[in-house]
Copies of this chain bind each other. A is one copy, B any other.
Amino acid sequence: MVDGLAALLAEVRFDAGGLIPAIAQQYNSGEVLTLAWMNRDALAATLESGRVTYWSRARQRLWRKGETSGQTQRLVELRLDCDGDAVLLLVDQTGVACHTGRRSCFFRAVREGGLVVIADPLISPEKLYPGGTAP
């Protein structure tokens, strides 16, 4: 995948902080799981290992998805948009993508004049992060 990485990096337009937004989508259901951020090293680690790795803006370090919770994302395909400033990751998500224990992070919807929770946790956050808080 190293040549793929070089070809990708030649077309990627990182933002002023060296980051690009990455959408993770379950490859075989189409469900949008999360939006996170990647830098050059995260793109490289993801393509080289096949395990999705983001850049944690909160912790300012690489974050291999699932490293604490076990809820990993296997990369199926990485796509780049027309102007090179967003990537779409087709992934196979183990368990849940959201730190709240829900499959997708997008579990609140504008409905009925308010913001409504439309999905329940499948796993309790305490089981995902037995030692402390979510990353």
Report yes or no: A115 in contact with B7, Cβ–Cβ below 8 A: yes
B-contact 0/1 string along A1-14, CB 8 Å cutoff: 10111011011000
Count, chain A residues at interface, CB 8 A: 44
Nearest-neighbour CB distance to chain B for A119, whole angstroms, equals 10
Q: Is the interface of A mostly helix, strand, loop or mixed?
A: mixed
Query: Would you list which residues of chain A between 45 and 87 have a CB under 8 Å from chain B?
Result: 47, 77-83, 86-87
New A-B contacts (11) at CB < 8 Å, excluding given A81-B108, A86-B106: A4-B111, A4-B113, A5-B110, A23-B35, A29-B30, A77-B110, A78-B109, A79-B106, A79-B118, A80-B115, A82-B108
